[in-house]
A and B are shown apart, each in its own frame.
Chain A
Amino acid sequence: MSLQIKELDRKEYLLPGHTACPGCPAAMGLRLLGKALGGNMILVIPASCATIIQGAFPKTSLTVPLINVPFASSAAIASGISETLDLQHKDVPVVVFAGDGGTGDIGLQALSGAAERGENIIYICYDNEGYENTGIQRSCSTPYGAWTTTTIKGKPEKRKDIPSIIAAHGVPYVATASVSYPLDFIDKVRKSSKIRGLKYIHLHAPCPTGWRFPSEKTIEVGRLAVLTGTWILYEIEYGSFRLTGPSRSLLDRGKRKQVEEYLKAQGRFKHLNNEMIKRIKEEVESKWEEVKGLTLRGERGSHL
Chain B
Amino acid sequence: MLKVLSGNHSAAFGALLSRVNFVAAYPITPQTQIIEKLSEFVDTGLLDAKYIRVESEHSAMAACVGASATGARAFTASSSHGLIYMAEMTFWASASRLPIVMAISCRALGPPWNIGNEHTDILALRDAGWVQIFVENNQEVLDSVIQAYRIAEDERVLLPVMIGLDAFTLSHTSEPVEIPSQEMVDQFLPPRSDKPYLLSPENPFTFGNMSNPTEHMELRFMHHTAVRNAKNVILEVDKKWEALFGRSYGGLLDEFMCKDAEVVVVSIGASSGDAKEAANILRNEGIKAGVLRVRVIRPFPSEEVRDVLSRVKAVAVVDRNLSPGSGGILVSEVKNALYGLRSKPFVKGYILGLGGRDVTVEDYQAIFRKTLKSYEEGDDRADWVNLNLEVLDR
- Enumerate B185-237 residues with CB–CB distance to A below 8 Å: 199-201, 203-212, 215
Beta-carbon contact of A81 and B69 below 8 Å? yes
B167 is an interface residue with CB less than 8 A from chain A: no
- Could you say which of B22, B59, B62, B211 contacts A84, with CB atoms under 8 Å apart? B22
- Enumerate B51-103 residues with CB–CB distance to A below 8 Å: 52-56, 58-60, 62-72, 74, 88-89, 92
- Could you say which of B53, B88, B209 contacts A54, with CB atoms under 8 Å apart? B209
User: Which interface residue of B52, B203, B205, B212 has the most chain A CB atoms within 10 A?
Assistant: B52
Q: Please name all residues of chain A whose beta carbon is closer than 8 Å to the beta carbon of B89 when the two chains form the complex.
A: 70, 73
- Could you say which of B63, B66, B212 contacts A57, with CB atoms under 8 Å apart? B212
Residue of A nearest to B59 (CB): A76
Beta-carbon contact of B210 and A54 below 8 Å? yes
Q: Please name all residues of chain A whose beta carbon is closer than 8 Å to the beta carbon of B200 when the two chains form the complex.
A: 65, 90
| Minimum C-beta distance from A95 to chain B (A) | 12
Beta-carbon contact of A112 and B69 below 8 Å? no
Q: Which 3 A-B pairs have the closest CB atoms?
A: A80-B66, A113-B55, A76-B59
| Minimum C-beta distance from B39 to chain A (A) | 14
User: Which interface residue of B208, B209, B211 has the most chain A CB atoms within 10 A?
Assistant: B209
Beta-carbon contact of A80 and B58 below 8 Å? no
Beta-carbon contact of B72 and A76 below 8 Å? no
Q: Please name all residues of chain B whose beta carbon is closer than 8 Å to the beta carbon of A73 when the two chains form the complex.
A: 58-59, 62, 65, 88-89, 92
Give a binary string over B230-259; 1 marks a CB under 8 Å from any A CB, 0 the rest: 000000000000000000000000000000
CA A119 – CA B62 in complex, angstroms? 14
CA A51 – CA B1 in complex, angstroms? 52
Beta-carbon contact of B212 and A80 below 8 Å? no
Q: What is A's interface to B at a CB cutoff of 8 Å?
A: 40-42, 44, 51-52, 54-58, 60, 62-70, 72-73, 75-88, 90, 92, 109-110, 112-113, 116-117, 119
Give a binary string over B1-42; 1 marks a CB under 8 Å from any A CB, 0 the rest: 000000000000000000001101000000000000000000
| Minimum C-beta distance from B155 to chain A (A) | 20
> Given contacts A79-B52, A90-B201, are A67 and B210 in contact (CB under 8 A)?
no
B283 is an interface residue with CB less than 8 A from chain A: no
Q: Please name all residues of chain B whose beta carbon is closer than 8 Å to the beta carbon of A83 when the two chains form the complex.
A: 22, 50, 52, 63, 67, 72
> Given contacts A76-B63, A109-B56, A113-B56, are A57 and B211 in contact (CB under 8 A)?
yes
| Minimum C-beta distance from A20 to chain B (A) | 14
Q: Please name all residues of chain A whose beta carbon is closer than 8 Å to the beta carbon of B66 when the two chains form the complex.
A: 44, 67, 69, 76-82, 84
Beta-carbon contact of A65 and B205 below 8 Å? yes
Beta-carbon contact of B204 and A66 below 8 Å? yes
CA A88 – CA B22 in complex, angstroms? 12
15 A-B contact pairs sorted by A residue (CB < 8 Å): A56-B209, A64-B204, A65-B203, A68-B209, A70-B89, A76-B58, A77-B69, A80-B69, A83-B72, A84-B66, A90-B201, A109-B56, A109-B58, A113-B59, A117-B53
- Could you say which of A51, A72, A81, A90 contacts B210, with CB atoms under 8 Å apart? A51
Beta-carbon contact of A85 and B211 below 8 Å? no
CA A290 – CA B69 in complex, angstroms? 43
Q: Say what secondary structure dominates the interface of chain B.
A: mixed
CA A112 – CA B59 in complex, angstroms? 11
CA A65 – CA B198 in complex, angstroms? 10
Beta-carbon contact of B58 and A110 below 8 Å? yes
| Minimum C-beta distance from A169 to chain B (A) | 12
Beta-carbon contact of B21 and A87 below 8 Å? yes
CA A70 – CA B58 in complex, angstroms? 10
Q: Please name all residues of chain B whose beta carbon is closer than 8 Å to the beta carbon of A112 when the two chains form the complex.
A: 55
Q: Please name all residues of chain A whose beta carbon is closer than 8 Å to the beta carbon of B56 when the two chains form the complex.
A: 109-110, 113
- Could you say which of B63, B88, B205 contacts A80, with CB atoms under 8 Å apart? B63
Q: Please name all residues of chain B whose beta carbon is closer than 8 Å to the beta carbon of A60 when the two chains form the complex.
A: 206, 209
Q: Please name all residues of chain A whose beta carbon is closer than 8 Å to the beta carbon of B50 when the two chains form the complex.
A: 83-84, 86-87
CA A110 – CA B57 in complex, angstroms? 10
- Could you say which of A80, A116, A119 contacts B22, with CB atoms under 8 Å apart? A80
> Given contacts A40-B201, A62-B206, A81-B199, are A67 and B69 in contact (CB under 8 A)?
yes
User: Which interface residue of B55, B71, B72 has the most chain A CB atoms within 10 A?
Assistant: B55
| Minimum C-beta distance from B77 to chain A (A) | 16
| Minimum C-beta distance from B216 to chain A (A) | 9
CA A110 – CA B215 in complex, angstroms? 32
Q: Please name all residues of chain B whose beta carbon is closer than 8 Å to the beta carbon of A62 when the two chains form the complex.
A: 206
Beta-carbon contact of A110 and B201 below 8 Å? no
Beta-carbon contact of B22 and A87 below 8 Å? yes
| Minimum C-beta distance from A287 to chain B (A) | 29
Beta-carbon contact of B72 and A72 below 8 Å? no
Q: Please name all residues of chain B whose beta carbon is closer than 8 Å to the beta carbon of A119 when the two chains form the complex.
A: 52
| Minimum C-beta distance from B194 to chain A (A) | 10
Q: Please name all residues of chain A whose beta carbon is closer than 8 Å to the beta carbon of B203 when the two chains form the complex.
A: 65
User: Which interface residue of A42, A64, A65, A88 has the most chain B CB atoms within 10 A?
Assistant: A65
Residue of B nearest to A82 (CB): B66
Residue of A nearest to B204 (CB): A65
| Minimum C-beta distance from B147 to chain A (A) | 24
Beta-carbon contact of B211 and A56 below 8 Å? yes
> Given contacts A57-B215, A70-B89, A110-B56, are A63 and B69 in contact (CB under 8 A)?
no
Q: Please name all residues of chain B whose beta carbon is closer than 8 Å to the beta carbon of A109 when the two chains form the complex.
A: 55-56, 58-59
Beta-carbon contact of B62 and A77 below 8 Å? yes
Residue of B nearest to A78 (CB): B66
| Minimum C-beta distance from B286 to chain A (A) | 57
Q: Please name all residues of chain A whose beta carbon is closer than 8 Å to the beta carbon of B65 when the two chains form the complex.
A: 69, 73, 77, 80
CA A248 – CA B88 in complex, angstroms? 44
CA A51 – CA B207 in complex, angstroms? 11
Beta-carbon contact of B209 and A51 below 8 Å? yes
Beta-carbon contact of A76 and B54 below 8 Å? yes
CA A63 – CA B204 in complex, angstroms? 7
Beta-carbon contact of B59 and A66 below 8 Å? no
CA A51 – CA B209 in complex, angstroms? 7
- Could you say which of A64, A68, A79 contacts B63, with CB atoms under 8 Å apart? A79
Q: Please name all residues of chain B whose beta carbon is closer than 8 Å to the beta carbon of A87 when the two chains form the complex.
A: 21-22, 50, 72
Q: Please name all residues of chain A whose beta carbon is closer than 8 Å to the beta carbon of B206 when the two chains form the complex.
A: 54, 60, 62, 65-66, 68
> Given contacts A69-B65, A73-B58, A73-B89, are A80 and B74 in contact (CB under 8 A)?
yes
